Structure 1
Amino acid sequence: MTYQLNLTRVLIAGGLLVTLSMGIRHGFGLFNLPVTQANGWGRETFALAIALQNLTWGATQPLFGGLSDKFGAYKIMLLGGCLYCIGLYGASQAVSGLAFVLSMGVILGLALACSTYSVVYGVIGRNCPPEKRVWAMGIAAAMGSFGQFLMIPLEQELLGNFGPQNALVILAILVTLMLPLGWILREKNHAPAVSGHQQTITEAISEAFKQRSFQLLILGYFVCGFQVVFIGVHLAPYLKDMSATYPDVGHPQVATLALALVGLFNVLGTYYAGVLGQKVPKHYILAFIYGSRSIVIGAFLLLPLSPLTTYLFAALMGILWLSTVPLTNGIVAQIFGVKYLSMLSGFAFFSHQIGSFMGAYLGGVLFDKTGSYNIVWIIAIALGILAALVNLPIKEDAIDRNAALAKA
C-alpha cells in the first residue's frame, strides 16, 4: 500500500528544497568575473564549468529520476545535498582551472540532478490529484524562483564582504539545510500507483521517444535551457562590458538587482503558468512563452541601455523564465502518467541542459573570439521563434495503453 504524503507538506518541503538548490545555482553568474579575475583565467574557463554543470545535470537526471521513481525521492535528495556541499567547497579551494571545472561543473551537476525539479515533481505527481497537479508544480517552481530572488542578493553580499572563496564556503554550509528537507519528503512504503499494463522502464522510454509530441516538447525545452543559462551566466559581464558606452549599467548592483528581479517576477510567471495550465492547453502557453522571449530580448538589444531598461528586461524575462517547467512536466505527466514521471521528465530535462551547455559555453567562447555577445543574443532570438513554432502541433492526450495492447 502506498503511503500518501500531505500535499501541503510536499509543497512546503519540496518548495524550500528547490528554493535552496535553484536559488544558489542561479547566482553562479555573479561569480564569473570575481573568480576568473582572482585566478587569472579567461571567461571560457568559468563558462566551461557552468556548461559542464548543466550538461552533467541533464545527462544524469534520467538516471537519478529513475532511481527516485523506483526507490524513493528522499534518498536521492539526501545524496544531492551531500554532493552540493562537496562541490561548493571544492570550488572554493580550487587553484587550477581543471579542479574548478570538476567541482563547479561535474560534482555540482550531479548535485543538481538529485535535488531539483524532476525529482521533486515526482513526489508531487504521486501525492497530488491530477486536477491540481500542474498548479502544484507551479507552486514548487514559484518557490524555486523566489529562491533566486532571495539568494542572488545574499550571494552578492557574500562576494562583496568575504570574497569568492569564502562566499562559496558559506554557501556550502548553507546547503546542508537540504538534508532535513529531503528527509521530510520520504514516502513510506514507496510504490507508485499504476493501473492497466504494468509497464517496464525500457517500455516507458521507448514509448516516450516514439511519440511525436514528446520529441517536439524536448526540442522546445532545449531552447529554454539555451536562453536562461546564457542570460543567467553572461548578463552580469555583458552589462560590465557595455558600461564603456553606458556607464550607469556597469555597477555590480545593477546586475545583481536585475537577476534578482528575474527571480521575483518568475514567482508570478511560474505560479500563473500552473494556474493557466489547468484551463488552457499547455503547449499553447509554451509557444506564447518562447515567442515572447524573442520579442523581449530583441527589444532589450534595440533600446538604449540603462538601469531602467535592464530592470524592465529582467522583469519581463522573469515572467517567462521558468514558467516552462510546470507546463512541460505537466504535459509529460498528462501523456504518460506518473509512474515514471521523474525519469521521463529527466529525459526532457536532458535536452534542456544540452541547450544550457550551449548557451553557457558559446557565450564564453564567442566572447573570447569576437569581444562581443551579439552573435549569441541573435541565436537566442532565432531559437525562441523556432521553439514557439514546434510547440504548436503538440497533442496532450493521454496514451491509451490498453487500446494499444488490444491492437497488438
Structure 2
Amino acid sequence: MEFKAIRGVEDIIPPESEKFERVVDTFKEIVKLSGFKEVILPIFEEAKLFTRSVGETTDIVQKEMYVFQDKGGRTIALRPEGTASAVRAYVENGIYAREPFTKWFYVGPMFRFERPQAGRKRQFFQAGCEVFGIKEPGADAELIKVASDILKKLGIDAELQINSIGCKKCRPEYRRALISFLRERVNELCPTCRERLERNPLRVLDCKEESCQEVVSRAPKITDFLCQECKEHYERVKEYLKLLSVPFVENPLLVRGLDYYTKTVFEFKSSKLGAQSTVLAGGRYDDLIEEIGGPRTPALGFAMGIDRAILLLPESKERREGVFVVTRGEEAYRRGLKVVSFLREKGVKSEIDHRRGSFKAQMKAADRNRARYALIIGEEEVENDFFSLRDLETGKQERVEGLEELLGRL
C-alpha cells in the first residue's frame, strides 16, 4: 500500500527545512530584541472562538475552516490563524490583571481548506506577534518597524502598504455609503462579490477580479469617513513611520480579510509572489478582547507567512561548516569516535562515516555534507599520534597535535 501526504499538506525536508529554520530563527532574534516573549498555543480550539473573532461572514469561517466533532460532542476547529488563540489565552489566564501591557510571539502551523498553490497550502506556517494593552499610535509604528526589520534581515524586498479602516463609530457610515455605491454597479461585480455585497461589503475592496477592481477604484474611500479620533491616530502612525525611516504607500482599498480589525491595517507585499503577494500583514484590533469575554483592552499584531517568506529568500551559496572525520582502520575509527564526541561537547558540529568506505568515498561524503574541514585519521596519524586537518574550501592540509590544538585551529 502506497501512502502519500494529503493534498495541500507538504513535508518540509532539507534543504527547505534549513530555510524554514533560518526564517524562524531570524524572526525570533528580531522580536526578542523588542521585548516579545513566546507563547505556545493549542493547534485546535472550540470552533466558536474563530466564528466569534474572525467573523461569521468571512471566507475563512464560511468556506475554509477545518471543523469536526470530537468524542465529547464538541465542535472543534483546527486554528486558521493565531490571533484568536492568543487573545483567548490572554483572557483565560487573566494576564490583563497583572501586566499593564503584554508582548507575545508565536510560531506554528495553521489550517485552511483552500485551493493549494504556491504560497498557499492547507497546512501552512505563521510566525506572529501580538501586543496587548497599548492604544497609542507609537505602538503601531514600532510593530510595523519590527516587521520591516525581520524582512530586511532576511533579505526580502517587499512594499509596505497601510490604511485605516476606522472604528465602530465611523465605519458604519462608510459601510452604508459603500453598499449604496456597489448596489448601483452590482452587475459589474463577480458572483462572489455579489454575495458579499450585503453581508461583508468591505471584502469587495480586496477582490482580485479585474472587473471588481475597476469598480472599487471609483468607490468611496474609507479614509474620507474616519472620525476625528481615527483620523488623528492614522496621521500619528504615518508621522512615526517617517520618523523611524520606514517607507510606506497608502492604500485606501486595503481592508484585510478578518472582521476584528480596527484603525491601522498594513501589508508587506511582493510582486514575486503573484496573486498571493502578501508575505506579512496585520493591524490593530481594539474590540476583540472585549468581544470574547475580557475587559476592554487595545491590541494589535501581525503574522508572517513562513512558507511565503521561504519563497522570497534570496539565493545564497550554502555555507560550509563543521568537521567530517575520515578514518582508515579500526583503531583510527575508534579514535575518530572519541574526537567527534569531544568536538560536539565543545559545540563544534561534527560527523563521522560509520560505514568506513574508501578514503575517496569518505571525502565525497564530507563534501556532500558541506563540511568545512575533513579531519583525517589514518595509520600514520594513529602511529604518530596526530591529526591531518584539510580545509575543504582552500584544499590546504596541516598537521595538528592533540585535541586542544585541534579545537584552537577550528
Q: Which has the higher strand share?
A: 2
Greater relative contact order (Cα < 8 A, sep 6+): 1
Which has the greater radius of gyration?
2
TM-score, structure 1 as length reference: 0.22
